[in-house]
Amino acid sequence: MQKTEIEALDWRAWLRPGDRIACSHMSAEPAALLRSLAERLPYPEPFDIFLGAPFGDAAAAMPPQVRLTTLGGMGTAGAMGRKRRLRISNAPYSRGGRLFSEDIESCDVALVSLARAPDGRLMLGASHGFIIEAARRARCVVAEVNARAPAIAGATWPDDLPIHAMTEVDEPLPASPDGRIAPADAHIAQRIAGLVEDGACLQVGIGALASAVLGDLRQHRGLGVHSGMWSPAMRALVECGAIDNSRKPIDTGVSVIGCAYGDAALYAAADGDPALCLRPPDYTHEASVLARLDHLAAINSALEVDLLGQANAEAVLAADGSWRQVGAVGGLNDFVRGARQARGGKAVVALHARAGNGTPRIVSRLGGPATVAACDADIVVTEFGVAHLRDASLDERAERMIAIAHPEDRDALQADARRLGLIR
Q: C-alpha angle with apex 260: 258 to 262, nearest 5 degrees?
A: 150
E strands within 279-378? 296-301, 304-306, 311-312, 315-317, 323-325, 346-350, 362-363
The answer on pLDDT for 124 being more than 80 is yes
Is 397:420 a contact under the CB 8 Å cutoff? no
What's the chain's average pLDDT? Answer: 95
Q: How far apart are CA 29 and CA 74, in angstroms?
A: 14
How many other CB atoms are found less than 10 A from the CB of residue 332?
Answer: 26
Backbone phi and psi for residue 268, each to the nearest 5 degrees, phi listed first? -65, -40
Q: How far apart are CA 350 and CA 386, in angstroms?
A: 9
User: Would you call 68 helix, strand, or coil by DSSP?
Assistant: strand
Residue 4: the pLDDT is: 84
How many other CB atoms are found less than 10 A from the CB of residue 421?
Answer: 10
Half-sphere exposure of 61 (CA within 13 A, CB side): 14
Is 314:361 a contact under the CB 8 Å cutoff? no
Mean pLDDT of 257-269: 96
Structural domains in the chain, CATH included, are 2-169 (3.40.1080.10), 183-419 (3.40.1080.20)
Please name the residues in contact with 391: beta carbons below 8 A apart, sequence gap of 6 or more.
none
Mean pLDDT of 351-357: 95
Q: How far apart are CA 413 and CA 173, in angstroms?
A: 44
For the chain, the straight-line distance linking the first and the last C-alpha, in angstroms and rounded, comes to 71
pLDDT in tens, 3-18: 888 888 999 999 999 9
Residue 334: the pLDDT is: 97
Residue 181: the pLDDT is: 81
Q: How far apart are CA 230 and CA 111, in angstroms?
A: 23
CA dihedral of residues 222, 349, 370, 283 (deg, nearest 10): -10
- Quickly list H helices, 194-259: 208-215, 232-239
pLDDT in tens, 376-389: 999 999 999 999 99
Mean pLDDT of 126-147: 97
Residue 51: the pLDDT is: 97
Higher pLDDT, 180 or 325: 325
Residue 420: the pLDDT is: 96
Does residue 341 come out as left (phi exceeding 0), alpha (psi in the -120 to 50 range) or beta?
A: alpha
Residue 328: the pLDDT is: 94
Quick one: which of 262, 284, 300, 317 has its CA closest to 381? 300
Residue 179: the pLDDT is: 67
Please name the residues in contact with 388: beta carbons below 8 A apart, sequence gap of 6 or more.
378, 379, 400
Q: Is the dihedral of CA 329, 333, 334, 336 positive or negative?
A: positive
Is 363:410 a contact under the CB 8 Å cutoff? no
Residue 138: the pLDDT is: 98
pLDDT in tens, 301-325: 999 999 999 999 999 988 888 889 9
Is 315:369 a contact under the CB 8 Å cutoff? yes
Range name among 44-58, 148-162, 179-193 with the lowest pLDDT average: 179-193
